[in-house]
Amino acid sequence: MAAQPRDVVEQYVKLVATGPTSAILDLYAEDAVIEDPIGSPERRGHEAIGELYKALENLERETELHTVKVAGNHVAAHFTLVTVSNGHRMTLAPIDVMELNDEGKIIKMRAYWGQDDLAMEQI
C-alpha cells in the first residue's frame, strides 16, 4: 500500500530535522521536481534535489509541524525549521505544497516562503 500524503509530509518534516539526505530523497520519485523557494530555479531529480538538503546535514536543526492539509494526492504543510551554525540561529517558516504519485512518492514540491518568513539572529 502506498504511503498516505499526511504520513509522507510528517515523515518529511521529521527527516528535515533528523535525517540524512538519502532518507529525505527516499520520499521523492527519481524524476521529482522542486522549487524551493518559489521563483528559484527548479531542481529535477535526486542529484539536484539532494544538493539542497545536503546543506542541512552539518547543522544543528529542529522542526515543528504546524498544519497539514490534504486533498487527494496533494498536501500542504506549514512548519518551522530552526538551524544553528557558527553562533547564528536561522528560523524559517515555509508552506511546502507537494504532489504525490500513486506509489506515495513526492513528484513535485514547491516551497512558499520569502524574506518575511526567515529570521536570522546571533546567539
Active site residues: 12, 36
Of the candidates 61, 66, 80, 67, the one whose C-alpha atom is nearest the C-alpha of residue 19 is 61
Distance between CA atoms of residues 17 and 83, nearest Å: 9
Of the candidates 112, 104, 117, the one whose C-alpha atom is nearest the C-alpha of residue 74 is 104
Rg (CA), the chain: 14
Q: Is the dihedral of CA 32, 98, 43, 80 positive or negative?
A: negative
Burial of 86 (0-12, 13-18, 19+ CB in 10 A): exposed
